Amino acid sequence: MRRRTAAVAAITVGASLLVPAAAGASPVPVPGRPKPPVKQPVATGYGGAVSTVDLDASRTALDVLKRGGNAMDAAVAAAATLGVTEPYVSAIGGGGYITYYDARTRRVYSLDGREFAPKGMKQDAFIDPATGKPLPFDQAVTSGLSVGVPGTLAQWDLALRRFGSRDLGALLRPAIKVADKGFVVDKEFHDQTAVNEERFRDIVPTRELFLPGGKVPAVGSVFRNPDLADTYRQLARRGTDWFYEGGLGREIARTVAKPPVDPKAARDVRPGLMERGDLAAYKAVTRKPTHVPYRGTDVYGMPPSSSGGSTVGEALDILGNFRLDPRDPVTALHYYLEASKLAYADRGRYVGDADKVDVPLDELLSAGFARERACLIKPDQAATAPVAPGSPDGSYEPCVPPGTQTRALAFEGPQTTHLNVADKWGNVVAYTLSIEQFGGSGITVPGRGFLLNNELTDFSFQPPAPGQAPDPNLPGPHKRPRSSMAPTLVLKDGRPTLAVGTPGGSTIITTVLQILMNRLDLGMDLPTALDAPRATQRNTPQVFAEQAFIDTYGRDLAARGHRLELFPGPPAGVIGAATGLELLRPGLVQAVAEPARRGGGSALVVHPARSVVGGRPPTPPGTAR
């Protein structure tokens, strides 16, 4: 993730600092530019709050709240701004999931804006016909074949029609302003461009936009995207039908079918299967959220096609069978890692797009299945991973034999972003959005200023061998690939108390789960729970962890059989970049972002409070003082 301050404020220093309003960035830092304001990772106050990875996006959302917009309005406006300032992870060429608490109905809703595959995609779409083997991952990513039908705009349209109070055109204006005037390039943006430089050079419109003058944008230079500003203006005027049924949709389908590769490039960028009819067929969907009770609270998340809600929920159900004592964090973490291991085994075996495959969701989240899985956990010894999936069949024994074989963990890119918004009326949004890899497919729609996703690489590439269990996550026509995105809301007594989410690919689930355990079980306040060192166990032989986690808990967990290794990234040694909100009492909300991971995030409130609960940490939900 990259966080930076819009150049809008910096440019007011004087006309002499302006550079020509062309796409891309000025090639050198502009002398005399004031340093960007320091972001704050925690803000507490009244009237609404927002936490994102980016100061521009947080400011956009806050301004919407101050002008009378509600949480959904602010979330959409922030996401549109992230499409400008975070173009490698957030764009209208991607998709995402929203978990939403509506204060009027006092209900939780989930809005599925996940991309789906073209009608022409079959199970063997990622098999190279020349070899009969799966395509190398890097070749699959940088191709039209990886591009799913984008869901972001359809999701915004659905969200605003159902729950918003502003039209899309008005909410795009702040993002248009940032795209026109630009933002200051920071080291994160520079480094992530540099990582993509080789493939970006091979795709003409991507090179022209993100490598202005043929170079990676310099730190301190101003990056402008007038093409995206114009695209947003036309969307404001024409509506989302222009994207799905009109001229822009034709341009997208043409770009996917014939990627605009430099004729001199040696890279084989395969054509995709998307047609205009696939865009016209796309619909964002309102779904019933997952729900599990936990420690006196109710935890809501995203149902399939995301595995976030089901896997977080199952792991919480398993953990609910154990007493987690703040005075013994090693034992609590042991149970957390073991519950994650079991839940991931079941995720891989049973969870896919519920519109296309039978997902036994009710049984996966049942108390009986959780007890059956929990009985496999030994208090002093880690199970050898990978463990086998369970049988969520409605008939549960006190215990089942542990297994040692299961499907390998599929790759999911960690390049995603998450934001949270609460408003003065009590509405709360948790929203995770993505284009998959940093830079998605690497393919920019010519003249439109945004990258297309590579979300279809979240499918399993190869069907299982004869005799093996079926794979619920194989490609298929108009099928949504399985995701780990887990925008999560926690309610107590029917009222929202926590919102949390993170990027991180398949580590999203464990990061959200660990933050919830830290907050609800181990007595940490939300800033501490979010900042605490992390580990992820996804049914692999190793537990991957941040160095601070290894330094603090590694020896004691190794004594119980856990094999801890440094998380390989990207970025190496850093798991996730979470954001959260906590409603401390009626009207008082605390917004929380990362203080350090991936450059830190931005938390803002409408009316800052002078103190928080008498200066002491608030009581964790579900506990008593």
d(C-alpha 486, C-alpha 488), whole Å: 6
Three-state helix/strand/coil letters over 271-304:
CCCCCHHHHHHCCCEEECCEEEEECCEEEEECCC
Radius of gyration from C-alpha coordinates of the chain:
23
What is the C-alpha to C-alpha distance for residues 481 and 449, in angstroms, rounded to an integer? 25
Structure-block tokens of residue 18: 């302006």
C-alpha–C-alpha distance, residues 436 and 415, integer Å = 6
The letter for the amino acid at 242 is: W
Query: Do the annotations mark residue 458 as ligand-binding?
Result: yes
552 catalytic residue (yes or no): no
Q: What is the DSSP letter of 17?
A: G
Is 143 flagged in the annotation as binding? no
The torsion angles phi and psi of 336, rounded to 5 degrees, stand at: -60, -45
| Helix/strand/coil for 604 | strand
Residue 175 C-beta-side C-alpha neighbours within 13 Å: 35
Structure tokens at 338: 């073991």
Per the annotation, does 114 bind a ligand?
yes
Sign, CA torsion 95/508/474/87 = positive
Q: How many helical (H) and strand (E) elements, i.e. helices and strands, does the chain have?
A: 19, 21
| 483 annotated binding-site participant | yes
Given the structure tokens 């301190």, which residue do they identify? 220
Gap between the terminal Cα atoms of the chain: 38
The answer to whether 122 touches 481, Cβ cutoff 8 Å, is no
Element (H, E) at 496: strand 495-501
Q: Residue 221, annotated ligand binder?
A: no
The catalytic residue among 142, 416, 510, 579 is 416
Residues assigned a catalytic role: 416
Annotated binding site for L-glutamate: 114, 458, 483-484, 505
